[in-house]
Amino acid sequence: MLPPKSTVELKNEMVACDLCGDNDFTFLYNSHDYLSFSPLIFELKKCEKCGLVGLNPRPENISDYYGKYRKGSIKKDIFEFLVPNRIKKIKKFKKGGRILDVGCGQGGFLNTMLKDGWEIYGVELSKDACDFARETYGLNEINNCDLLSLDFPDNFFDVITLWHVLEHLGNPKDTLKMIYKILKEDGLLLVESPNFCSIQSRFFKDKWFSLDLPRHLYQFSPKILKMYLKETNFKIIKRDYIVNPRINFISFKMSLLRWTGIQRAPKIEENDKLNTDTDSRKDKIAWKLFRFSFNIICLLISLFLNLINCDDSFRVYCKKTSRK
């Protein structure tokens, strides 16, 4: 579904670089919003001073580009076996305590942590997602707002996590500064993000699934994130190179579909025809066999990329350092 006409226009003014504050950008390439099949073109630009890549200009109201969460039963993912155990990752550093998940979505991760004995808190901008978390899991410590609008005590959390969230934020530096304030001195910050320097990103470019414009306002690489963390008084103590095989698989599959032209961002008048054609093909045995074979091939290739440390995402574990 396309955003309302009143919010479909992009801002004319440029947004200054969040990392260094500079206003000198180099155009990289255009891309589309494949999820909503929007005919709009979004521009990706790189800061000449620090190298941060981001969406510029931006939509007037970015929330219009997020779909609503559907209420009801939670569908089982057949590729769930590819998802790493996040609790085990965290418990290598912290055995328990108070945890904040920024951008907690429907609360699945926090519900798992609650069952493990953690004191859980969440922040999520989507009201539908917050309602789902409360109604489905009974999670009442989820705040439907931006982290910067909250007033948590200093040195309050043992662990703060951002699972594919930092790239969605319009002000990552201010968010990391707030996290520094509310994280305990011996606390753990965990950040996971798509890797703009990955093989998939370099090859597929504007067709790269994890680009996800316009929802991803910034595109991070380990180098750029390290610069952010240094600016906000964090240091990386560990980096995972095999991050999430499921995400790697989905990204490779969808990127390949776009690169080959099987999936594309159609014009507005093509939407109804596209949906009708797709529904009819799914009923055919040949289409189902092709889809199954295609999934297997993409899965094998993506697993191979994982094994040679060419994951589509990266994850870092951070500790606080002394303020400058």
Give burial (CB, 10 Å; 0-12/13-18/19+) of 245: buried
CA distance 194 to 220: 7
Give burial (CB, 10 Å; 0-12/13-18/19+) of 118: buried
Helix (H) or strand (E) holding 237: strand 234-240
Nearest CA to 167 among 224, 220, 123, 205? 220
CA distance 296 to 25: 40
What is the block-wise mean pLDDT of the chain (324 residues), using blocks of 10 residues?
42 81 95 82 95 92 73 58 87 96 95 96 94 94 94 97 96 97 98 96 96 95 97 96 89 94 66 44 72 91 88 96 79
- The DSSP-derived string for 188-218 is EEEEEEE-TTSHHHHHHGGG-GGG-TTT--E
In the chain the domains, ranked by start, together with CATH numbers, are 5-65 (no CATH), 84-247+314-320 (3.40.50.150), 249-305 (no CATH)
Q: What is the C-alpha R_g of the chain?
A: 20
Nearest CA to 104 among 79, 82, 131, 80? 131
CA distance 315 to 157: 20
- DSSP classification of residue 156: -
pTM of the model: 0.87
Tell me how far the alpha carbon of residue 103 is from its chain's centroid: 9
Tell me how far the alpha carbon of residue 72 is from its chain's centroid: 23
Question: Under a CB-based contact definition with an 8 Å cutoff, are residues 141 and 107 in contact?
Answer: no
